[in-house]
């Protein structure tokens, strides 16, 4: 059973009749930007686009810009289908006359795709979870306060566990070919990143006279052993 939110200008009437025959919990609120400040938690948002396509499009753009994090489905008439395009940011459309089986299928597929997309945007290695979608990283559940370049460096390391990179390679891959700074900046960022990793600083290992690598540990005992051998 999913928690559904319906944004509509006719909150006193049923927008999608088929929903009343399904077990999902649906709540209707006015389709106004001000209402989005305290949007209730939900798994999916329906936007009523039956009568005002321009307003519905603007509302969809606001939702996607604010990073709402749940799929958007448009409730629309058959005549309005030609106006919908990818830049609306909606995951799918459903006709107002759709039956309960179709509506339920579209809900399940939209939520399923969202969950799948979120899982594929995460990199997990040796206790580190990097969420590329939100540009955040956690170590054993603890959030890391990283700058943009620190995040990019950690992500690059985690994507290539156990592989050794020279400072020049890291500059090229993380900072880009147009970066004119010296390799010293790599050492500075690695040092800061290790400090923020705390007890897991050994995840980023130094290969003498070569560069750095991301150490892949099977378990904490292996990590501790590597730390003690430094």
The model's pLDDT over 37-83, given as tens digits with 9 standing for 90+, comes to 677 788 999 999 999 999 999 999 888 877 677 899 999 999 999 99
Could you identify the residue written with the tokens 């955040």? 136
Query: If pLDDT is split at 50, 70 and 90, which confidence band does 219 have?
Result: very low
Stated pTM of the model? 0.54
Q: Is 73 in contact with 90 (CB distance < 8 Å)?
A: yes
Written as one string, the DSSP assignment of 20-79 is: GGSS-EEEEEE--GGGGTTPPP-SEEEEE-SS-HHHHHHHHHHHHHTT--S-EEEEE-GG
Output the pLDDT for position 142.
Answer: 86
| CATH architecture group of domain 3-120 | 3-Layer(aba) Sandwich (3.40)
Query: If pLDDT is split at 50, 70 and 90, which confidence band does 227 have?
Result: very low
Span 126-214: which CATH code?
Answer: 1.10.10.10
Mean of the pLDDT values across residues 210-214? 93
Q: Does residue 86 or residue 120 have the better pLDDT?
A: 86
Among 47-56, 88-97, 206-215, 220-229, which is the least confidently predicted range?
220-229
Q: Does residue 135 or residue 223 have the better pLDDT?
A: 135
Q: Cα-flanking dihedrals φ and ψ of residue 134, to 5°?
A: -105, 5
Q: Is 3 in contact with 42 (CB distance < 8 Å)?
A: yes
Q: Using the CB atoms, write b or e for 51-88: b if 16+ within 10 Å.
A: eebebbbebbeebeeeebebbbbbbbeeebeeebeeeb
Q: Is 176 helix (H, G, I), strand (E, B) or coil?
A: coil
Residue closest to 77 by CA, chosen among 103, 51, 46 = 51
Mean per-residue pLDDT over the chain, rounded: 85
For the chain, give every domain's residue range.
Answer: 3-120, 126-214
- Record the tokens describing residue 222, joined without a space: 């292996």
Q: Which residues pair with 123 in a beta bridge?
A: 130
């Amino acid at each position: 059973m999913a928690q559904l939110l319906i944004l509509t200008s006719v909150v006193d009437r049923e927008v999608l009749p088929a929903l009343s025959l399904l077990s999902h919990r649906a709540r209707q609120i006015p389709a106004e930007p001000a209402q989005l400040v305290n949007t209730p938690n939900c798994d999916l948002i329906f936007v009523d686009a039956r009568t005002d396509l321009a307003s519905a499009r603007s509302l969809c753009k606001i939702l996607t810009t604010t990073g709402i994090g749940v799929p958007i489905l448009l409730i629309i008439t058959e005549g309005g289908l030609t106006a919908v395009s990818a830049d609306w940011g909606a995951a799918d459309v459903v006709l107002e006359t759709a039956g309960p089986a179709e509506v339920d299928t579209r809900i399940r597929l939209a939520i399923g795709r969202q969950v799948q997309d979120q899982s594929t945007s995460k990199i997990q290695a040796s206790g580190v979870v990097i969420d590329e979608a939100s540009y955040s990283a956690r170590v054993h559940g603890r959030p890391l306060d990283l700058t943009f370049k620190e995040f990019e460096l950690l992500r690059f390391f985690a994507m290539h566990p156990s592989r050794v990179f020279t400072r020049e390679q890291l500059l090229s891959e993380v900072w880009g070919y147009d970066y004119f700074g010296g390799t010293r900046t790599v050492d500075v960022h690695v040092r800061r990143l290790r400090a923020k990793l705390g007890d897991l600083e050994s995840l980023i290992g130094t290969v003498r006279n070569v560069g750095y690598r991301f150490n892949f540990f099977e378990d904490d005992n292996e990590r501790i052993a590597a730390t003690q051998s430094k």
